[in-house]
Structure 1
Amino acid sequence: MSHPDTNRASSSLLRPREPLVGRLQRYWRDGGPWGWLNAMAVSVSLVLVLGLLSLLVVGSFSHFWPSRLVEVELTAQPGQSPTALTTTRGEPAADNRHLLGELMHEEMRRVASGEEDDARQQWWLLQTSSRDGAAASWQWLPETLLDRMTFPSQALMLEMRDGRTLYGMPRALSDPMTGEMDHTPDVGDGPARPLSEDAEPLFARLKMIESERRQLQALRLDSEALSSRYQALQQSLASRRSATAGGDAAQTHEDAELEQEMQEELEEVRSAFIEREGQLSALRDALAGGQLLLGGNGGYEGRIALDDIRNAWRPNAMGFSGRLMMTFKRFRDFVAGAPTEGFGGVWPAIFGTVLMVVLMSIMVMPFGVMAALYLHEVAHQGRLTRLTRIALRNLAGVPSIVYGVFGLGFFVYGLGAGIDELFYSERLPTPTFGTGGILWASLTLALLTLPVVIVATEEGMARVPRRLREGALALGATRLETLKRVVIPAASPALMTGLILAVARAAGEVAPLMLVGVVKLAPDLPLDDSFPWLHLDRKFMHLGHQVYDLAFQSSDAFSSRPLVYATALVLVVVILCLNLSAIRLRHMLAQRYKGATE
């Protein structure tokens, strides 16, 4: 019996070793390098996507994270006095020797010198209090001009309702009832009493205003609804009395009791409404009398009405948990807030983006599916059909701005003007549908994504086995029943794939929307509680347009840059949520009709 090791040795001696060139050629023919290249391409793509998301998160994080406030004491240089210092917007410094604000950036700059190698000097970018509307003030300071930097715990940061950001040292707080100023000890003379001891009760009242307003609005709506019901009931009772004059006395008594109950309920709601209105009015008057006095140490100097303050906090007195909670609060206000001059709330833009995508999907899917059914199942597969498919694939590559121009000319100036002449002639020359709106924007994007849906749906129908069609026809089903109950359900995952591609492209488009309805600031949402609830003629806001406006139309690049990152991050999250919803639906359909295309 031979040993196994001896057999392997003899077999290796009988088979000559393959040359290196041959092994490389066989490895190339088997597709080995392509597998590694594909893996490398996927890895690079993942790294780029993660890098993009990291850039957006880090860039927006700097806006919402409460940075420490620094008090800078300046030193006079030869030939320059501190009184000559001005900010980059040409505003004089609030203090001749002090500046208070946030350190936003630092960099090394070359300084010309007599030597061959230029010296390098460190410069600091300081954001100080806003002094004209929503614009911030910025100051570049060289390290040679800085005498001392401190971080006072009493430094206060205020976000105003008009978009300004103010930094200052609290000096006094007025009692809203008496109007007298309660002065705090000067910071330079000793430790000041915490501002929260004075301001917290007033700021708590300031926050109560928003909840009171919401409750007041709810009461007003309830009162209006009840009043409408009461008027409708009165009309119904009057018509019933006239129709049954001299009729059943019991029915008349029952109607009278019902009317009395409605009247009592209406009076109860109205009394609650009047009482809440009085409470809110008293609270407004009290807060209007409350004022905060800031001054000294290079910060903002002057009186500020408490009702004008959106947020107030002391970053230098916060711990890590406090800063983290403030970051989440500011991001929540950013997402859920309404945009004003200088304040970047994006809730209307989120609502407009999602509503436009939903309307676009409702419009494009039926036409896309019907067109794909005709091309694949009904039309004669000849030269005209092939040319139509080529035209559809070419339309998918047309620039989006071309669709915007078409939408402006055909939908807005064509259909919209015709609708105004037929149904809204009394409002002319003020247009109703003859101007940009969410309806025309959705139709324009539906045209833009229609070729994508048709191609994806037709490819899904091509994967449905022919035996399914033949089996349905053999069982006596008609052509329509076969398409409706066999082909379309089996191709439904491909339909959802087309919808995913359409949503991914339409949600990020900006160029065509600028021509057919998107605006920088829309006072009313397209969907509200007034009839007909969905107002297709209204203009709307879009996250992509907000990114464009903040990036290229803002007069303050330093302030708007973090908002650009934050808005772009919200846009990516919204598109991701929309796509995940469609992917989940496609997975459910694929599981339901699993095996139909195998």
Structure 2
Amino acid sequence: MSRPDAVPPSSLLRPREPVTARLARYWRDGGPWGWLNAMAVSVSLVLVLGLISLLVVGSLSHFWPSRLVEVELTTQPGQSVTALKTTRGEPAADNRHLLGELMHEELRPSAADTGDQQRERQSQRWWLLQTSSQDGASASWQWLPDTLMENIRFPRQALMLEMRDGRVLYGMARALSDPLTGELDHSPQLSSDSAVPGVPTPSLHQNAEALHARLAALEGQRRQLAALRADSEALSARLLALQQQLSARQGPVTTQDEANASLIAELETTREALITREGQLLALRGALDAGQLLLGGNGGHEGRIALNDIRHVWQPNAMGFGGRLLLTLERFRDFVSGSPNEGSGGIWPAIFGTVLMVVLMAILVMPFGVMAALYLHEVAHQGRLTRLTRIALRNLAGVPSIVYGVFGLGFFVYGLGAGLDELFFSERLPTPTFGTGGLLWASLTLALLTLPVVIVATEEGLARVPHRLREGALALGATRFETLRRVVIPAASPALMTGLILAVARAAGEVAPLMLVGVVKLAPDLPLDDSFPWLHLDRKFMHLGHQVYDLAFQSSDAFSSRPLVYATALVLVVVILCLNLSAIRLRHMLAQRYKGATE
């Protein structure tokens, strides 16, 4: 029974709590920490989105087709056109017209400034113009002051050509070779199907549809040539097999002729088919080499270009927003799926090498990491030696990655690799097989690098498995091995996947150790193909992280490689994100399956 003079807790007559007491209780209940955690998560999310946005915007300058400009230059007293310098330090061409893409603009002081008004009056605007490639470079760049730019036009008929050797050319189409005679026609017309009655059909100078049609026909011929080449190789192999089979037959001549009549007939048929295919191949090669395009005038590239050397051609000034967007997606697709030996700067071998190396690393590190964690937590005596081992593992997780690279080079490459060459590949020496960097040694090096992370994460997961599960399994008659295999490991499987996620996140972006144990700048042959043994662990491979490093610091043309650095880094982030999301999804499925086991 309550006292009559007691004040209920919810009464308005209760005296107000002092502000200091309320703040102390708020701090004691952990209120500020919740807000700090929310702020940290928000800042992290903003930083991640900002990083992805930076990579996307930075790579757009390479894939998005900018408008082509024709600049007419003028000379000022004391300054000539030939005084202009390109970004490579070479003098610009003595030509009053330049054709290319305007990529950047900036203000530069033209003299020593003493004040704000004088600084504003003496500043000069400079434009960065990308023109046709020269001397095998991917692009040629020129800085132009606005005082030298007398007139700027955006010609609709200007062409942008991407060559198979990686060059980019700008120009005006003047003539296209006849598909039958091979001679240049200076006024090729569009097909009659697209002509409008009563309206003159535009020539190549106004419309490049004829050029696009010829390039599409050449692409079809190239595919036909590849099919004929494969058919010819198959026929050659069949012819060789028939000849070997015929020479292996034994017996009297009469009996042999009667038994091998069909075999000889098939042999002759195959030989005739092979001769026919070779003739078709020669005809197609001649047709591909005969096509030519003449560019010239208006400051663009001048001269003849073989149509077979052109990869793509566009008219950016004639495109709308939809056409530019589709072209951007197409160029990005070619960048992702292409190979660097095709002249397109593709990164597909680097993507494939990165994913394959991470998968092999995960296959190698997970069994050893789980077994080591099981021994430390479930089997080993929990004494001083075990505690020192755990301390050593946590210290190994902080060792610089280049140290692991040096260890992998000395132990795996020069130690195990050289021993394998002496035992199994002695006939190839002194050319090494496994005694040099390769996919296997890179995967093993990264497995050592991430092994402490997997062990620590797995051991923490094992510690969260209640002892009642172990005791219940033992009480039902299960052995310790069965208890570990069927009870403890499944219950700790989400923690195992957490260790895998941390290992993948660290290994996928490592570059320094890989430069010592197998990663190279150019390796277009994939480690996985259709030839035995299919997975070639001794091959060198490409890696996205190394591609970013090479493009950023080893390229001779910083302006051309800068957007490729952003694009490659974006692909690397997406690949790591996809790998982590796959592991997170698997961890979620395992956590739902064994929900309640650790509660």
The TM-score with structure 1 as length reference comes to 0.89
Q: 1:592 to 1:226 in 2, by over 3 A?
A: farther
* 1:358, distance to aligned residue in structure 2 (A): 0.9
* 1:39 equivalent in structure 2: 38
Identity among equivalent positions (%) equals 79
* 1:183, distance to aligned residue in structure 2 (A): 1.0
| Ranges in structure 2 where 5+ consecutive residues have no aligned partner | 1-6, 189-201, 252-258
* 1:111, distance to aligned residue in structure 2 (A): 2.4
* 1:3 equivalent in structure 2: none
Check the 8 A contact 2:204/2:211 in 1, yes or no: no
1:202 aligns with 2:214: yes
Matched to 2:511, the amino acid is V
Aligned length: 569
* 2:170 equivalent in structure 1: 167
- For residues 85 and 59 of structure 1, the distance between their equivalents in structure 2, rounded to whole angstroms, comes to 28
Q: 1:214 to 1:389 in 2, by over 3 A?
A: farther
* 1:340, distance to aligned residue in structure 2 (A): 3.1
- For residues 457 and 321 of structure 1, the distance between their equivalents in structure 2, rounded to whole angstroms, comes to 51
Matched to 1:355, the amino acid is L
* 1:72 equivalent in structure 2: 71
* 1:72, distance to aligned residue in structure 2 (A): 0.4
- For residues 81 and 465 of structure 1, the distance between their equivalents in structure 2, rounded to whole angstroms, comes to 84
* 1:211, distance to aligned residue in structure 2 (A): 2.5
- For residues 10 and 161 of structure 1, the distance between their equivalents in structure 2, rounded to whole angstroms, comes to 82
* 2:415 equivalent in structure 1: 414
Which is further off, 176-185 or 514-523? 176-185
- For residues 144 and 429 of structure 2, the distance between their equivalents in structure 1, rounded to whole angstroms, comes to 58
* 1:551, distance to aligned residue in structure 2 (A): 0.2
* 2:3 equivalent in structure 1: none
1:296 aligns with 2:297: yes
* 2:160 equivalent in structure 1: 157
User: Alignment partner of 2:134: what SS?
Assistant: strand
CA shift digits 1:125-159 (9 cap, x unpaired): 00111111134211111111111100001111111
User: Alignment partner of 2:132: what SS?
Assistant: strand
* 1:88, distance to aligned residue in structure 2 (A): 3.1
Which is further off, 495-504 or 198-207? 198-207
Check the 8 A contact 1:67/1:315 in 2, yes or no: yes
1:85 aligns with 2:84: yes
Equivalences for residues 465-544 of structure 1 within 5 A: 465-544=466-545
* 1:517, distance to aligned residue in structure 2 (A): 0.4
Check the 8 A contact 1:212/1:280 in 2, yes or no: no
Check the 8 A contact 2:74/2:81 in 1, yes or no: yes
CA shift digits 1:148-192 (9 cap, x unpaired): 10000111111111111111111111124312111149xxxx986
Check the 8 A contact 1:437/1:539 in 2, yes or no: yes
Equivalences for residues 77-476 of structure 1 within 5 A: 77-94=76-93, 96-112=95-111, 116=115, 117-118=118-119, 119-184=122-187, 193-216=205-228, 219=231, 278-340=279-341, 343-476=344-477
- For residues 450 and 78 of structure 2, the distance between their equivalents in structure 1, rounded to whole angstroms, comes to 65
Check the 8 A contact 1:209/1:280 in 2, yes or no: no
- For residues 16 and 230 of structure 1, the distance between their equivalents in structure 2, rounded to whole angstroms, comes to 107
Which is further off, 85-94 or 119-128? 85-94
User: Alignment partner of 2:577: what SS?
Assistant: helix
* 2:4 equivalent in structure 1: none
* 1:541, distance to aligned residue in structure 2 (A): 0.3
What is the RMSD computed on CA atoms of the aligned residues? 2.9
Which is further off, 42-51 or 286-295? 286-295
Check the 8 A contact 2:173/2:204 in 1, yes or no: no
| Ranges in structure 1 where 5+ consecutive residues have no aligned partner | 1-6, 243-255
Check the 8 A contact 1:230/1:263 in 2, yes or no: no
Which is further off, 106-115 or 572-581? 106-115
Check the 8 A contact 2:418/2:432 in 1, yes or no: yes
- For residues 231 and 492 of structure 2, the distance between their equivalents in structure 1, rounded to whole angstroms, comes to 50
User: Alignment partner of 1:335: what SS?
Assistant: helix
Matched to 1:199, the amino acid is L
User: Alignment partner of 2:340: what SS?
Assistant: coil
Q: 1:414 to 1:527 in 2, by over 3 A?
A: same
User: Alignment partner of 2:482: what SS?
Assistant: helix
Check the 8 A contact 1:176/1:287 in 2, yes or no: no
* 1:283, distance to aligned residue in structure 2 (A): 2.4
* 1:26, distance to aligned residue in structure 2 (A): 1.7
Matched to 2:25, the amino acid is R
* 1:327, distance to aligned residue in structure 2 (A): 0.8
CA shift digits 1:523-574 (9 cap, x unpaired): 4211111111111111000000000000000000000000000000111111
User: Alignment partner of 1:131: what SS?
Assistant: coil
Check the 8 A contact 2:159/2:170 in 1, yes or no: yes
User: Alignment partner of 2:12: what SS?
Assistant: helix
* 1:201, distance to aligned residue in structure 2 (A): 3.0
* 1:11 equivalent in structure 2: 11
* 1:113, distance to aligned residue in structure 2 (A): 6.2
Q: 1:261 to 1:595 in 2, by over 3 A?
A: farther
Matched to 1:596, the amino acid is A
Equivalences for residues 587-598 of structure 1 within 5 A: 587-598=588-599
User: Alignment partner of 1:88: what SS?
Assistant: coil
- For residues 442 and 267 of structure 1, the distance between their equivalents in structure 2, rounded to whole angstroms, comes to 51
User: Alignment partner of 1:11: what SS?
Assistant: coil
